[in-house]
Amino acid sequence: MLKANYHTHTVFCDGDNTAQEMVDRALELGFEHLGFSGHMDEEIHMDWPAYFDEITRLCSAYAGKLDILCGVELDTLYDPACCPGAEYIIGSTHYVDVDVPFPRAIDYSAEVSQRLCNECYGGDWYAMCRSYYETEATVYERTHCTFVGHFDLIARFNDQLHAFDETDRRYIAPALETMAYLVECGIPFEINCGAHNRGRKAELYPRQSLLRALHDMGGEILINSDAHQTACLAGSFDVAEERALACGFDHVNILVHNATGKVEMRGVALGR
């Protein structure tokens, strides 16, 4: 089993457990590396100084037992100056770039997603997906992220709504165009297990066909649980590793503190 996770939420944002409880669970699982990545976006933004101080304290307290990293999940449409000192950044797109008097998060609820589509895109889901991927294409430019989070989050409620065909050219074309651009920028993608390990989706992010395309483009991957509870800290890692191998990946990347204390990315063979 993979012994690292870098997409971890706590009570500082929308998680159910404290950072200390996440550390305790990581040690129970035999983890070697644990990255915290609280949300900073227009709807969920942490008390950054308090969060930074607590993660820094834990990093010091568990030195030699668990390599703890202080990261952030920064939204594409949020100010990157909000998280000084973050050791790594997950660049995530939760919003479509529209001006509405209600939540514009595409993962807020099925009802909100449908309302966004109806009121901003004339009911055309393919137009909304294209708009989402156009914003996603700017994630590195805007956030200078370390890796891309849940690439195809726009499909969050599609298992429930069946609003669009994820194999349709109108959906696939903008997704692949954005993916190719980000791969050219040299940015890795996470395989995000969050919706799968909570029983919300059959597919991981990115879905299998997109993951295969990512491999064929020469993209790099990390595997993360997107844990909001201790019970999900290693959730669906086995599925992610299986699907990565099936798509041709032979290694996964991890983030570690090197001998100088700086964070660097290293490759680890899948299955180890």
139 vs 1, more confident = 139
Q: Which two tokens stand for residue 71?
A: 């990261």
**Looking at residue 1, what is its pLDDT?**
75
| Separation of alpha carbons 192 and 179, rounded Å | 15
Q: Is 210 left (phi over 0), alpha (psi -120 to 50) or beta?
A: alpha
Using DSSP bridges, classify how beta strands 189-192 and 221-224 pair: parallel, antiparallel or unpaired: parallel
**Order of strands across the sheet that contains 88-92:** 4-5, 33-40, 67-75, 88-92, 147-148, 189-192, 221-224
Query: Count of CB atoms within 10 A of residue 236's CB?
Result: 22
Q: What value does the mean pLDDT take over residues 14-24?
A: 98
Domains for the chain: give ranges and CATH numbers. 4-269 (3.20.20.140)
Condensed to tens digits (0 to 9), the pLDDT of residues 146-200 reads: 999 999 999 999 999 999 999 999 999 999 999 999 999 999 999 999 999 999 9
What Cα–Cα distance (Å) separates residue 61 from each residue in 21, 38, 204, 222? Answer: 14, 20, 34, 26
Q: For tokens 């901003």, name the residue.
A: 120
pTM higher than 0.85 for the full model? Answer: yes
- Report the alpha-carbon distance of residue 156 to residue 61 in Å, rounded: 37
